């Protein structure tokens, strides 16, 4: 039952982000504006320890953010390992709109942001600093699955505060145009300089206005290896439904790296040009939020491979 306009995004916290996107989409606004406004909600949410301000730092204590955005014309912009700026998605959009480049990283991305009026802030809040100091005691880097899903984490992973988190959002507007955005602080306690899939066009996000869009969450290394979001979109081009395309991309990870795949989470989310959507994940626990004219706060559970 396809819908238009529609916006979907990863994890339960996508509900609040979708609502902000809907304020634009519901008034015949542009999908690009909707996805930027939408993911800004997650970036600003201090209770969310892995997107934007309040995100967990790298293992040396630096909060370093990755984000990208893509519009209906195939324009895209991205920042990686950006520090001190609370809304990396908006810097990514400016890279897209104001520079001849697609991607700026680290110091150069910060310089560009400051030159364009963004304020430098301390993104390491006390609760994240505390979690990092706790982590330093053992220095055990093992990405925990699904902690983004609070209900799942409470039941299955009590007391586990180390996590990773990404918001990926896809929107189809009244005019039938697609855009997407993806933003994260990446894997908690990653190595300094580590870049995940989220700011990489084709890995963490891809949009093709003829076909659809896809985004991913989970352990980015496996998504980069398989160019996951591009794969999902190309499979939809060949006639796969959004869910079938996401499943095939998940199975590619299983096939290439079965030993790794068993112990990590990766989830894909896709939306096609008709407003049909679907998802698939390696493991149980992946959720996504859906918002359209009839219902703005739907949470759906992703299908998954390992039963
Ligand atoms: C990364 N994919 O940096 C991101 C992390 C993530 O849910 O999605 N967590 O690898």
- pLDDT, tens digit (0-9, with 9 covering 90-100), for 109-148: 999 999 999 999 999 988 889 888 988 888 877 665 555 5
Is residue 166 part of the annotated active site? The answer reads yes
Question: How large is the average pLDDT for residues 15-25?
Answer: 97
Task: State yes or no: pLDDT of 60 exceeds 50.
Answer: yes
CB of 148 sitting under 6 A from ligand 1: yes
- Residue 287's pLDDT is what? 92
220 is in an annotated binding site: yes
CB of 76 sitting under 6 A from ligand 1: no
Alpha helix positions (H), 174-298: 220-225, 228-237, 242-256, 258-261
Helix, strand or coil, per DSSP, at residue 198: coil
Q: Write the burial class of residue 187 (CB in 10 Å: 0-12 exposed, 13-18 middle, 19+ buried).
A: buried
Q: Which atom of ligand 1 is nearest to the CA of 143?
A: 9
The secondary structure element, H or E, covering residue 7 is: strand 6-10
217 is in an annotated binding site: yes
Task: State yes or no: pLDDT of 198 exceeds 80.
Answer: yes
- pLDDT, tens digit (0-9, with 9 covering 90-100), for 258-296: 999 998 899 999 999 999 999 999 999 899 999 999 999
Q: Residue 221: phi, psi to the nearest 5?
A: -55, -40
- pLDDT, tens digit (0-9, with 9 covering 90-100), for 201-254: 999 999 999 999 999 999 999 999 999 999 999 999 999 999 999 999 999 999
Distance of CA 177 to the CA centre of its chain: 20
Local confidence band at 102 (pLDDT 50, 70, 90 cut-offs): very high
């Amino acid at each position: 039952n396809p819908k238009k306009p529609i916006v979907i995004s990863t994890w339960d916290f996508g509900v609040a982000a979708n609502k902000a996107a809907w304020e634009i989409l519901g008034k015949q606004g542009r999908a690009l504006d909707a996805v930027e406004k939408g993911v800004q909600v997650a970036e600003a949410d201090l209770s969310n320890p892995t997107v934007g301000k309040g995100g967990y730092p790298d293992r040396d204590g630096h909060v370093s953010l990755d984000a990208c955005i893509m519009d209906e014309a195939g324009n895209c912009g991205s920042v990686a390992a950006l520090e001190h700026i609370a809304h990396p998605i908006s810097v990514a959009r400016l890279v897209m709109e104001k520079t001849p480049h697609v991607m700026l990283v680290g110091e150069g991305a910060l310089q560009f942001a400051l030159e364009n009026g963004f304020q430098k802030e301390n993104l390491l809040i006390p609760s994240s600093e505390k979690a990092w100091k706790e982590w330093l005691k053992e220095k055990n880097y093992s990405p925990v699955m699904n902690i983004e899903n609070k209900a799942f984490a409470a039941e299955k992973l009590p007391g586990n505060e180390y996590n990773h988190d990404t918001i990926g959002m896809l929107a189809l507007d009244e005019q039938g145009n697609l855009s997407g955005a993806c933003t994260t602080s990446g894997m908690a306690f990653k190595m300094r300089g580590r870049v995940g899939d989220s700011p990489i066009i084709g890995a963490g996000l891809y949009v093709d206005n003829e076909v659809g869009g896809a985004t991913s969450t989970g352990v980015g290394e496996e998504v980069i290896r398989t160019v996951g979001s591009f794969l999902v979109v190309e499979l939809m081009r060949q006639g796969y439904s959004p869910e079938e395309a996401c499943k095939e991309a998940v199975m590619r990870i299983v096939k290439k790296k079965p030993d790794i795949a068993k112990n990590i989470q990766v989830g894909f989310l896709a939306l096609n040009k008709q407003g049909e959507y679907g998802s698939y994940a390696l493991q149980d626990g992946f959720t996504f939020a859906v918002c359209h004219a009839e219902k703005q706060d739907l949470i759906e559970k992703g299908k998954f491979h390992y039963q």
